[in-house]
Structure 1
Amino acid sequence: MKAIWKRDFKSYMENLIGPVMISAILLILFLFFFLNNLAGRNTDLAAPVYVTSAIAFTFAIPLLSMRSFAEETRNKTDQLYMTAPITIGQVVLGKFLAIATLLAIPTGIACLLPVLMGLFSRDVQLLNCYTSLLAFYLYALMLTSICLFFSALTDNILLSAVFSALFIVIGIFMGSAFSRIKITWLAKILSGALDFNSRMETMTYNGTFDFTTVIYFISVTALFLFLCVQVIQKRRYTVSRKNLTVGAYSLSMIVVMIAVVIVANVFATQIPERYRTVDVTGTRIRSITAESRKVIDKIEDPITIYYLSEKDQSNVYGSIDLDSRNIENILKDFAARSSRITLKYI
């Protein structure tokens, strides 16, 4: 695995595709950093990180990953690791780590930006900035695993890049489509399975560290690496009764893994917001202050808060805008902290 990691990383850097993609990512990041932070005098990295992940990653990562398996399958050089004394999982992980190392370079450079802003302003929210950068890198790793999967499906590098980019675009925009579904439980399942955009918004613009977003990125990354292994593993077998049994077992494991990831992410979103998120803003505007808690504890008369919204819409990613979701979650927190406060939806 280590040899594959080194070989692929060296290949990316020597063939210039690595430096070109790193430069493209940094160009977009620095452009929006200049417009939003230097010219606009903002002290958080939400906009540069979000826009770069939505634009640069959608095209750069498919281009980086398209040759990983597709070209080797076309040139028949995949037979080398098919017969080598290593597992397919080690091969996939080695190629994944090569791209992950490459993407760590622009991420590491981006980590210097909050420090740079701190030289000119005391209002820089370092925790908020680095939370955004964590989401930035985890999102990149998730997209890498998806692109490796599509590269393993075909021997055409162009199709690999196109299908990867198309799937990423679908993942970005499907959250808005799911929010229009009137059946709440179905919307929760679908948004729990495929909604990239809302999760990036949560850990960038929202100013919160969301454990469910981290779980989503990591679990989807693991799922697509597993699917990639299964696709390549299938090529080792010829048609026989024994191998049909192996194929059926592999298919059942794929179904189980997909179901586990979807169910885990759906259940994770049902955890109350105050238990699964941490306010990382400098002024703690996403959480109830100590002064507010003291006021709540002194309430003696019953209070009913009427909220014009469907119940639990905040648990459906992409269903409502971030400000509305934050308002609902704070109201829920009020009601949870005092038995005299009732929240009613109208």
Structure 2
Amino acid sequence: MRTIFKRDFLAYFRTPTGYAFMGVFLSLAGFIFYLYNLSTLSSDILSFFSQLTLLVMLLTPMLAMRLISEDRQKRTDQLLLTTPISLGKTVMGKFLAAACVILITILLTNVYTLIIAIYGVVYPGEWFVGLLGFTLQSLCFLALDLFVSCFAKNPLTSAVFAFAANFVLWMTDLLANNISITWIQNVLNFISLYDRYEPFILGQLSYSSILFFLSFIAVCLAGATHVLDSRRFSGGGAA
């Protein structure tokens, strides 16, 4: 797992992918910070975190698109499928590599928090809760995108699939409000990442949401492992 992690993590910075993700994210985060905090002289750090979710939804496919599908495009995936390392550890190593890029980016985003702290007031409890919720939600999108990447034959297709999956998942809250069938509403509300994130942007530490986020990540990674495992024995793959 350590070998997979090191290879994939370093690959982000041996190519423009990691720098592009961090640069675009931090630039757009800076614009959001100006729009919602500087221009209004607001020190509300939670509203800043709430707006960053859209960036994660749009940009995590950039990181996930190469994790599985690039190996498949280069026909090096058979090496992963036949390696003595378990597929679960392979998937985990790839996930952690991309997760570290996200965590570094989120850490750098706290420059904006520091600016608020210098010129206004930042409550440490609110900051921690908001940051925790945002980080967990970001990792959920990444795990979903990694799972989707298993069904694509090349990174571009993977990015399109991942963005579509992120969009559908993000729209579950709106869909739930426009569907009259109760059980479908309940299912959509249950899987809604926005609903799970809402307590955090209100400054509330939700243990049920934390459990959901961690379970969501685990299910996506288990799903990715299962897809790769089935490919190992079938020798085939998704389109």
Answer whether TM exceeds 0.5 for this pair. Answer: yes
Aligned residue identity for 1:35: L
Partner of 1:73: 72
Instruction: Indicate how the Cα distance of structure 1 residues 130 and 113 shifts in structure 2: closer, same or farther if over 3 A, else same.
Output: farther
CA distance in 1, matches of 2:129, 2:32: 18
Match of 2:140 among 139, 142, 145: 142
- Residue 180 of structure 1 and its aligned partner are, at CA, apart by 3.4
Percent identity between the two aligned chains: 28
CA distance in 2, matches of 1:17, 1:181: 39
Aligned residues: 235
Q: Deviations over 1:69-125 (max 9, x none)?
A: 11211222011122221100011000000001100111112234333322222x322
CA distance in 2, matches of 1:223, 1:6: 24
8 Å CA contact 2:175, 2:188 repeated in 1: no
What is the TM-score of this pair, normalised by structure 2?
Answer: 0.91
Instruction: Indicate how the Cα distance of structure 1 residues 100 and 145 shifts in structure 2: closer, same or farther if over 3 A, else same.
Output: same
CA distance in 2, matches of 1:130, 1:191: 25
Partner of 2:156: 158
Aligned residue identity for 1:161: A
Residue aligned with 1:111, SS: helix
What is the TM-score of this pair, normalised by structure 1?
Answer: 0.64
- Residue 158 of structure 1 and its aligned partner are, at CA, apart by 1.8
CA distance in 2, matches of 1:61, 1:15: 16
Q: Deviations over 1:206-244 (max 9, x none)?
A: 2212222212211111100000000000112149xxxxx
Residue aligned with 1:153, SS: coil
CA distance in 1, matches of 2:34, 2:107: 18
Aligned residue identity for 2:93: G
**Which consecutive unaligned segments of at least 5 residues does structure 1 have?**
240-346
Q: Which has the higher helix share?
A: 2
Partner of 2:185: 187
CA distance in 1, matches of 2:148, 2:19: 23
CA distance in 1, matches of 2:207, 2:44: 20
Q: Which has the higher strand share?
A: 1
Partner of 1:119: 118
CA distance in 1, matches of 2:151, 2:175: 27
Root-mean-square deviation (CA, aligned residues, Å) is: 1.8
- Residue 162 of structure 1 and its aligned partner are, at CA, apart by 0.8
Q: Deviations over 1:1-53 (max 9, x none)?
A: 11111111111011011011011111111111122222212222223222222
CA distance in 2, matches of 1:63, 1:119: 33
